[in-house]
Each structure stands twice: as C-alpha cells, then as structure tokens.
A and B are shown apart, each in its own frame.
Chain A
Amino acid sequence: SAVISQKPSRDICQRGTSLTIQCQVDSQVTMMFWYRQQPGQSLTLIATANQGSEATYESGFVIDKFPISRPNLTFSTLTVSNMSPEDSSIYLCSVDRGYGYTFGSGTRLTVV
C-alpha cells in the first residue's frame, strides 16, 4: 500500500500570506486528492491533481486561492494563498489505493 509523507505537519501563519503544503508518495499514482477537514465537519474535496494536466477543482474552490502543482507521479503541492482566519483547517492529501484511500498525516493550519 502507498505511503504518503506530508509536510509541514502544522503551521501558524499571518493573514495575507501563503503556505505551500507538500505530499510525497512512495509509489507512482495517477491521481492525488486534496481535502480540507474543518472541526466537526466531513472531509471536503478541494481538487483532484493529475500529472501533466490542470487540477480539477470542486465547487467553491478556485485555482487562484488554491494553486496545485503535480510535476510527476509521486509528488504534489497545494498552496493556500492570501490566507484569512477562515482558512484555518486541516489539509490532507490522499491517493486511491483501488480499495479506499490512503491519506497523508495532514497539515494543521492556523491563520492569525
């Protein structure tokens, strides 16, 4: 099964700044998924990242706010841009194992 290394594990950021979250997978995968997990709420899909093409964003999420890179089949980054306190959340990357997803350990972001 795939192992995902996600970093940073947590950060406290000033509003108006940007943070880039990285995920490294130990095997090649076609699609990587980026989720947001807010307290007491279900995981919300932000976007699906395919290697060699633009990411596909879900309703309510836009590329200018959450730009994604996918330079190869084992790596992806998600940037949270121009942050506000409302962006405080846990961000998770994941890959499809064919029988469920494997998740990174998450990035706990606090915007002050």
Chain B
Amino acid sequence: QKEVEQDPGPLSVPEGAIVSLNCTYSNSAFQYFMWYRQYSRKGPELLMYTYSSGNKEDGRFTAQVDKSSKYISLFIRDSQPSDSATYLCAMSAQIDMRFGAGTRLTVKP
C-alpha cells in the first residue's frame, strides 16, 4: 500500500463547476497537509497549507482534513480554465514530505 494515494484522473469539468480532489493516506503521524498546483513545464507551487484536522478557505479554494479517516480534500468553486493544471497533495510529520501522484484537471470554457 502506498503511503499516499491520489486518483490521477484525468478530470475534465465545465467552467463554473465545483471540483473535488482527494487523497488518502496511511501514516497516522502526518500532521501537515498541503496542496500544490503544477502547470505544465513548471515546478509545483503551494496552494493550501493546513495543520491537523479541519477546514481552511482561501478564495475559491477550500482544503479539508479528516485525520480520523486519513482523508484530505481540495474543493475548487467556480472553476476557471486557468485552474487547469495538475494538483498534488502532500503531507508530512516533521520534515519528511510525501506526495500524491497528482490529479490532472482540465476546466473547459
């Protein structure tokens, strides 16, 4: 079993749709949870950072962490074509970070 599981997609939605991206993990020691966005031919950029369980909202983006279920989510409201990218979840206990394989998202105008 992989330490972090993420559905690679691809996921295609129409503009304006609500997007839900998810990851599951097996290591209960993880405390820090992140979502990265990676455009083609670019390095990943940090989108959301969450500590422990709970929700965090930033504009159209909401990150949720459920440590009891070992499940994290990223919601994108009113999705835009500019949101088309690969989204990677990441998590760590202290320094050692583990990444999901990434979900490729396409938002069609």
Chain A positions within 8 Å of B, measured between CB atoms, are 4, 6, 9, 31, 40-43, 45, 92, 94, 96-97, 99-106, 108
Contact partner of B88 (CB less than 8 A), chosen from A4, A9, A43, A45, is: A43
CA distance A1 to B97 in the complex (A): 19
B4 interface residue (CB < 8 Å to A): yes
B57 interface residue (CB < 8 Å to A): no
List, in ascending order, chain A residues with CB within 8 A of B6's CB.
42
Q: Are A43's CB and B46's CB within 8 A?
A: no
- B13 CB → nearest A CB, Å: 20
Query: For residue A58, which residue of chain B has the nearest CB?
Result: B96
Count of B residues near A, CB < 8 Å? Answer: 23
- B72 CB → nearest A CB, Å: 14
- A41 CB → nearest B CB, Å: 6
B99 interface residue (CB < 8 Å to A): yes
Q: Are B101's CB and A42's CB within 8 A?
A: yes
List, in ascending order, chain A residues with CB within 8 A of B36's CB.
100, 103
Q: Are B95's CB and A100's CB within 8 A?
A: no
